[in-house]
Structure 1
Amino acid sequence: MTLEEAIATRPVWLQVWVNILFLGAFVLPLALLIWKPSRIAGLVTAAASILAAGGVYWIYGQLGYVRLLGLPHILFWTPLVFWLRHQQARPDMPVWPRRIILTVCTVIVVSLAFDYADAVRYLLGERQPF
């Protein structure tokens, strides 16, 4: 079973969330490429999200659909959020990239809340696949 097929077996709210996460962490950052002051933020965010996704697929291939799947998000997105907030505060950052960065950070932080909770539960012994 692929990761996409495994997600399709989960509750509808989770499937909706995965789509929101894809839009907020993978697609929306590409809009930052429009403005020169936010281009690096867009590229760094896209790269971090691609690396995190690759890590999720790798863990899925090794362990299956387990609570540890959020670990790559934790490793790549936690420092990214702090860096993006710093980028957002730059005086030369136009208003629309600031709004986009805030939206991206909001989506990522919500995801990280789930990811941290799941990682802790995994470390405390909940290692069975969903």
Structure 2
Amino acid sequence: MMDVFAAFNADVATQPQWIQVWLNVLVGVLALSIPFSFVRVEARWTLLGLVVGAGGIMFLYSQFGYSRILGLGHVVAWTPLVVYLLTRRSSWQVASTWAGKWIVAAVAVLLVSLAFDYVDVIRWLVGDRA
């Protein structure tokens, strides 16, 4: 399993700088679900989504290598997560809590990521296997 992580990280390191920065922002924001999970159910679900999404990516990477199909791991894990989070937006308490502010940031990065992921999966399905 460590070989898969090492190979994945090596492939990510060959990507343009903006992709590497984006992945660091994405992981950084979603990793904040760990401390917020002690106080918010939304953070616990986000942490689960992060783990399932990362696991899906690693499984897909082990089967297909570094290609557009990797976005499927996020699409499957994060689409229901975003729907869930948006249905709870009346309880976010954005103005009064740091957790509420974090949820807004988490939903924003999830939506941006999903936009890239859906495009990548569709492109892979129509034959762009790069």
Same fold (TM > 0.5) = yes
Structure 1 residue 34 displacement after superposition? 4.4
Matching residue of 2:66: 65
| Cα contact 2:92–2:100 (8 A) shared by 1 | no
Matching residue of 2:12: 7
Q: Supply the distance in 1 between the matched residues of 2:55 and 2:22 (Cα, whole angstroms).
A: 19
For residue 21 of structure 1, what is the amino acid of its counterpart? L
Q: Supply the distance in 1 between the matched residues of 2:79 and 2:53 (Cα, whole angstroms).
A: 11
Aligned residues: 124
The change in CA–CA distance for 1:89 and 1:31 in structure 2 (over 3 A counts) is farther
Query: What SS does the aligned partner of 2:129 have?
Result: coil
For residue 32 of structure 2, what is the amino acid of its counterpart? L
Matching residue of 1:20: 25
Please state if 1:32 is matched with 2:20. Answer: no
For residue 33 of structure 1, what is the amino acid of its counterpart? S
- TM-score normalised over the length of structure 2: 0.87
**Structure 1 moving runs of 4+ over 4 Å:** 91-94
Query: What SS does the aligned partner of 2:71 have?
Result: helix
5+ residue gaps, structure 2, are: 1-5
Q: Supply the distance in 2 between the matched residues of 1:24 and 1:91 (Cα, whole angstroms).
A: 16
Q: Supply the distance in 2 between the matched residues of 1:62 and 1:34 (Cα, whole angstroms).
A: 35
Q: Supply the distance in 1 between the matched residues of 2:82 and 2:8 (Cα, whole angstroms).
A: 26
- Aligned residues: percent identity? 35
List aligned pairs for 1:74-85, cutoff 5 A.
74-85=75-86
Structure 1 residue 53 displacement after superposition? 0.3
Matching residue of 2:48: 47
- TM-score normalised over the length of structure 1: 0.87
Structure 1 vs Structure 2 CA RMSD:
1.8
Query: What SS does the aligned partner of 2:91 have?
Result: coil
| Cα contact 1:24–1:108 (8 A) shared by 2 | no
2:122 to 117, 120, 124: 120
Structure 1 residue 90 displacement after superposition? 2.0
Superposed CA deviations along residues 76-128 of structure 1, whole A, max 9, x for unmatched, are: 11111121122231277853222111100001111001000000100110113
